[in-house]
Amino acid sequence: MAVLKRTIAAVAVSLVAASLLAACGRDASHPSPGSDANAEVAELAALPWDSLVARARGTTVTWRKWRGDPAINAFVDGWVAPRLRERYDITLEAVEGQGAELVNQLVLEREAGRGRGTASLVWINGETFAQLRAESLLAGPWSGVLPSSAYVDSASPIISRDFEQDPAGFESPWGTVQFALIHDSVRMPEPPRTFDELAAWIRAHPGRFTHDQAFSGVTFLKMLMYAKGGGVEAFAGGFGDERYARGRTAVFGWLDSLRGAFWRGGATYPPDVAAMHRLFANGEIDLSMSNNQHDVVNKIRQGVLPPTARAFVLRDGTIANTHYVGIPFNAPNPAGAMVVADLLLSPEAQLEKLKPEVWADGTVLDVTRVPEPWRAQFAALADDPRAIPRDTLARYARPEVSPRYHERLQADWRAWVRGDGAP
Amino acid sequence: MSARPDRLRESPLGPLLLAALVALPVLLGVAYALLAALGVLGAGSSDTASLDRFATVLGARSTWRALGWTLYVAAAATALATAGAALVAMGFASNTRLDRSARALATLPLPVPHLVAAATALLVLAQSGLLARLLFAAGLLDAPADMPPLVYDGAGVGLIVALAWKELPFLAVVAIALRQDIDPALDETARTLGAAPRYVRRRVMWPLLWRGMLPAVIAVFVFALGSYETAVLLAPVDPAPLAVLTMERFADPALARRGDAYVLALVTLALAGVAVAAHEWARARWSATTVSRA
Amino acid sequence: MRANIPPRRARPAWTWAALVALTLSTLLPLAVLVLQSLATSWRWPLLLPDDYTAAGWRTVASGALGRSALTSALLAMATALASVLAALPIGRSLATLRAPWRHVAAALVFLPVAAPPIALGAGLQVATLQLGVAGSAVGVWLAHCVPAIGYAALLFMGVFGARGRDDEEAARSLGASGLQVWWHVLLPSVRGVIVEALAICFLISWAQVALTLLIGGGAVRALPIEVLALVRAGQDRDAAVGALLLVVPAMLALSALRFGARRTDALPA
């Protein structure tokens, strides 16, 4: 132990020395803004909206978001950004960064002790929100101040709770998605509709099914846990070790009994959804999946998936969740970030991104409460004929449970697949 | 300036400090990684240091499998690229247009990034990739599943091929330069003395090339060891390459497990350290023969 | 001076096989990328895309890819210049070291080249955050310079060490200043290696993914970052366009460099 302590001390000293060395090189005339954005957010939240907008005018907002989908990028860069510039003279810089990267980056920024960071707005939900809150890396509360927040569908448990957590004003919702499986309507006209049917189908068609290693794959396992472990009710209301143990037994029992019939005999799994789509498009597997029920339509349009691909949901229920935007504790421009969050939440933007030819991202607004002309336009908006009807989606939608379930399933699945002891 | 006494100029302190300055970011990184691995810095850290993370990571079967597999892939890719580069240098050594074109062809992909090599390998080597389609067109396959798996495969064939393809041009540049520095009289003498061309290649050319290439070969081995983009696009889930395992932990949904990434980074760093020492040893050993290029 | 090796009397049969393999392995991947960049869709079991579109290439002109290519080119040029400028005196200084220290110094300098990106990245993140340049192009440029300087310094250390210091001492004894020695003695003697170092340092920056992601924090959109994002989004057509942008201009530049260098005997091949 003494050796350990001495080592830590030595390393810490060298680290500090190096930091000091670096700090000497820092521009002394650099203005030192408030140590964090919390105070500024509290002050902004007390201002009338118009004064806040005036404060945001002429500024730049850096928004770290997932940039993996051209349809979403086109909406943000081609629709949101120009409107921000026109109306508020705000420059929107939408840059890459999501989930784990965001948390790591903010932790490091806090450790480095710099005044303000780089991003003013971040796209988050679920476990990222939990981690940012646990590490006090989000500023707030502020989301109730946004004028458009009045129309949010707060009656929906899927919107008012983020993986069972109360957003508490520290994040503002901006869209919903629902998990769906994908089949080829020509190759497989009648896809399995429940986990039991899926199991039978996998046994009958060895080598034709897999899931990815990343977020969508774990969401698939979580749905399996709901279906085989007594329904979402059995896991709702916070994380419980015993309840998880039951769910885990059900999940890995199902996987164990089928693994040999998976693609490549269950020895390996595609790294992400894109890789899985590639396998599906080339006929290596017969089913794909996506966290976004509308992904299939966007991907057909982009030529990634064949024109005959269709999404479907399992009658056991599929997970729906909401994505949000938050303001980091060290945001350089919280006022601008709030204006952007409000535009994202506005009926106009919500309608635009709901359009099937734009993104088909679900709205978080209660469309019966939004003012005209938006209400009529929401009502008149037709689904893409290739999409799952909205009432079907709503009927089978299941909420998320505590992010701990996701964490544990991910870790246990990796241990299971790599033989790191029995999960 | 010119009046500086010689003794001062010969003191090793100044140059060594300069070298340390160049290495400072790595040393800083090692310090940070150590503290994060001990759990006092980084996401999910606390105030008390512990060796728990070392115990967890070093106690996991997957870590050692990853280590072994990563070494195997890096070694295989390096060997393949070295052999290819040496063949190019020895087979196309003359000044004819054909040989010059062959050398140019071999070194043309020098600027191809790892990422592009991996993405292209996916298009060509996947079970439904171009190679499989050619075999299908030739009637040798009925479906993608009949194609032996070359990507995400346990033997790492696709990954090894992509890495070797990416590194061959760099080694070829080195090997070609070395080959051209070899005195042509040596070749001629050996042959006049009655040695068969094959014998000359094996007993004269290859040892000379190998000595000169060794530092570059070790450098390539280290790049192959640490390359993340190729690994994440082509490797199987089990065994996972160290770089993938590291990034997985770095982005783990559980904040408490992120520190594990730094333990893995330190393991990789230790491997790199051994390689650096080997590199230096090789340079020192052969510096009399040739000027190192890597 | 490199000697010209006289042509062999008979070409061994294996070299013909090697030539075919070489041609295929170099040109086939490029051809695949070109086809993929123009394909509307290209699925099993088609040997060629069933339909072609220039949509992918239009995205170059219309924004993201074109802009990131420019960012990358500027970054890589700045990295190459700064790294070679810094590495010249460092390499010269390290070349004066003798046996044990010489190896210690070389190992230290090689560390930034060999270290895994996550370890190097953490150190550079701490440093750039302290300097207030994290998340900016300047920070990314500094980060790229670290492995590039390591590489180039090692290269120069080797050449300066090999060439000895007699002419330098002579110049000094004739009263040349430090700068004059550099300009008239040292630089001309390593001109070829400088070109090589510039090229390699350019490529280190040009192909960099991990450091750009970590230090740039997503805000510096260099070309490899965009290509990685496209690959991971399954946008194979646009990814192929990006990949060709990464590969082809660099290949042309390098070939031109080599062509020009052949006359001055600077680069091999």
Domain harbouring A333, CATH code: 3.40.190.10
Query: Do the Cβ atoms of B127 and B135 come closer than 8 Å?
Result: no
Query: Do the Cβ atoms of C201 and C84 come closer than 8 Å?
Result: yes
Query: Do the Cβ atoms of B199 and A230 come closer than 8 Å?
Result: no
Chain A CA closest to residue C227: A68
Calculate the CA dihedral of residues C204, C206, C211, C214 and round it to 10 degrees. Answer: 180
One domain, residues A42 and A170: yes
Q: pLDDT grade, residue B113 (50/70/90)?
A: very high
Return phi, psi of residue A162, to 5°: -105, 105
What are the chain A neighbours of B35 within 8 Å (beta carbons)? 8, 11-12, 15
Q: What is the pLDDT of residue A392?
A: 93
Chain C CA closest to residue A113: C130
Tens of pLDDT, residue by residue over A91-137, are: 999 988 888 889 988 988 888 776 788 899 999 999 999 999 999 99
One domain, residues A160 and A78: yes
Decide if C229 touches A, using CB distance below 8 A. Answer: yes
One domain, residues A235 and A282: yes
Structure tokens at A200: 């039978």
Q: What is the pLDDT of residue B12?
A: 85
Domain count, chain B: 1
What are the chain A neighbours of C237 within 8 Å (beta carbons)? 303
Q: pLDDT grade, residue A336 (50/70/90)?
A: very high
Q: Report the C-alpha gap between A129 and A143 in whole angstroms.
A: 14
Binary contact (C231, A18; C-beta < 8 A) = no
Average pLDDT over residues A362-378: 94
> Would B6 be classed as within a structural domain?
no
Domain that includes residue B128, residue range = 51-286
Q: Which helix (H) or strand (E) holds A318?
A: strand A318-326
Structure tokens at A364: 């978080």
Tens of pLDDT, residue by residue over A7-36, are: 444 454 455 445 544 443 433 333 334 557
Binary contact (C225, A30; C-beta < 8 A) = no
Q: Which chains touch A (3 or more CB pairs under 8 A)?
A: B, C
Among B18, B116, B284, beta carbon nearest to C93:
B18
Q: Report the C-alpha gap between C51 and C56 in whole angstroms.
A: 13
> Would A283 be classed as within a structural domain?
yes
- Lay out the sheet containing A287-290: strands in order across: A287-290, A180-184, A309-312
Chain C CA closest to residue A26: C131
Q: Report the C-alpha gap between A248 and B168 in whole angstroms.
A: 47
One domain, residues A140 and A190: no
Domain that includes residue A223, residue range = 180-312+397-418
> Would A29 be classed as within a structural domain?
no
Query: Do the Cβ atoms of C5 and B94 come closer than 8 Å?
Result: yes
* Binding-face residues of C in 170-199 toward A, CB within 8 A: none
One domain, residues A173 and A184: no
Cα A2 to Cα A6, A8, A9, A380: the distances in Å are 6, 10, 11, 72
Q: Report the C-alpha gap between B227 and B241 in whole angstroms.
A: 9
Binary contact (C236, A70; C-beta < 8 A) = no
Position B6 pLDDT exceeds 70: no
Tens of pLDDT, residue by residue over C143-174, are: 999 999 999 999 898 888 877 777 778 888 88
* Binding-face residues of A in 21-40 toward B, CB within 8 A: none
> Would B182 be classed as within a structural domain?
yes
For C181-215, give one letter per residue: b (16+ CB within 10 A) or e: bbeebbeeebeebbbbbbbbbbbbbbbbbbbbbbb
One domain, residues A413 and A277: yes
Instruction: Spell out where chain B has E strands.
Output: none
Q: Which chains touch B (3 or more CB pairs under 8 A)?
A: A, C
Instruction: Spell out where C159-228 has E strands.
Output: none
Chain B CA closest to residue C99: B284
Chain C CA closest to residue B16: C105
Return phi, psi of residue A214, to 5°: -100, -150
Binary contact (B61, A15; C-beta < 8 A) = no
We report the CATH number of the domain holding residue B140 as: 1.10.3720.10
Decide if C134 touches A, using CB distance below 8 A. Answer: yes
Name the minimum distance, in Å, from the CA of B122 to any CA of chain C.
10
One domain, residues A245 and A336: no
Name the minimum distance, in Å, from the CA of B170 to any CA of chain C.
10
Q: What is the pLDDT of residue A15?
A: 54
> Would A75 be classed as within a structural domain?
yes
Position B200 pLDDT exceeds 90: no
Name the minimum distance, in Å, from the CA of C134 to any CA of chain A.
8
What are the chain B neighbours of C103 within 8 Å (beta carbons)? 280-281, 283-284
Helix (H, G, I), strand (E, B) or coil at B156: coil
Position A412 pLDDT exceeds 60: yes
Q: Report the C-alpha gap between A84 and A98 in whole angstroms.
A: 22
Binary contact (B35, A103; C-beta < 8 A) = no
Q: What is the pLDDT of residue C259?
A: 65
Percentage of the residues of chain A whose pLDDT score is greater than 90: 78
- With a CB cutoff of 8 Å and minimum separation 6, the contacts of A43 are none
Q: Report the C-alpha gap between C223 and C241 in whole angstroms.
A: 11
In chain C the domains, ranked by start, together with CATH numbers, are 20-52 (no CATH), 60-264 (1.10.3720.10)
Position C63 pLDDT exceeds 80: no
Q: Which helix (H) or strand (E) holds C41?
A: strand C39-41
Q: Report the C-alpha gap between C68 and C218 in whole angstroms.
A: 12
For A57-76, give one letter per residue: b (16+ CB within 10 A) or e: eebebbbbbbbbbbbbbebb
Domain count, chain A: 2
* Binding-face residues of A in 82-101 toward B, CB within 8 A: 99-101
What is the identity of the amino acid at A255? L
Max CA separation in chain C (angstroms): 75
Q: What is the pLDDT of residue C264?
A: 42
Name the minimum distance, in Å, from the CA of C214 to any CA of chain A.
8
Return phi, psi of residue A418, to 5°: -100, 5
Name the minimum distance, in Å, from the CA of A19 to any CA of chain B.
9
Average pLDDT over residues A175-187: 96
Decide if B279 touches C, using CB distance below 8 A. Answer: yes
Q: pLDDT grade, residue A347 (50/70/90)?
A: very high
CB–CB contacts below 8 A, A to C: 92
Most confident option among B7-16, B68-77, B175-184: B68-77
Mean pLDDT of all residues belonging to chain B: 87
One domain, residues A161 and A200: no
* Binding-face residues of B in 236-275 toward A, CB within 8 A: 236-240, 248, 250-255, 257-258
Tens of pLDDT, residue by residue over C209-245, are: 989 988 988 888 899 998 998 898 899 999 999 999 9
Among C217, C232, C236, beta carbon nearest to A68:
C232
